[in-house]
Amino acid sequence: MSKIRKLAKNEDGATAIEYALIAALISVAAVVAFQSVGTQISTTMTTVKEKMANAPASSP
């Protein structure tokens, strides 16, 4: 019976699970943020490429 009480009082496993859930949530948020930034950078680079391609050639 004392082993069951010790097991019930032991919160190390619960704490580890909480930390794992927090880390997973932060990871998901980071992936979403990086995808958004990546899309914005891609759009900006495409715009720059198009403007450079359509720019008049300068004569020396």
Selection from 31, 50, 49, 28 nearest residue 39 by Cα? 31
pTM: 0.53
Q: What pLDDT is stored for residue 1 in this prediction?
A: 74
Assign residue 59 a region (left: φ > 0; alpha: ψ between -120 and 50; beta: otherwise): beta
Q: What pLDDT is stored for residue 7 in this prediction?
A: 60
- Delimit the domains of the chain by residue range: 3-54
Q: What is the distance between the alpha carbons of residues 4 and 10, in angstroms, rounded to a whole number?
A: 10
pLDDT tens, residue by residue, 9-35: 666 667 888 889 999 999 999 999 999
Residue 11 one-letter amino acid: E
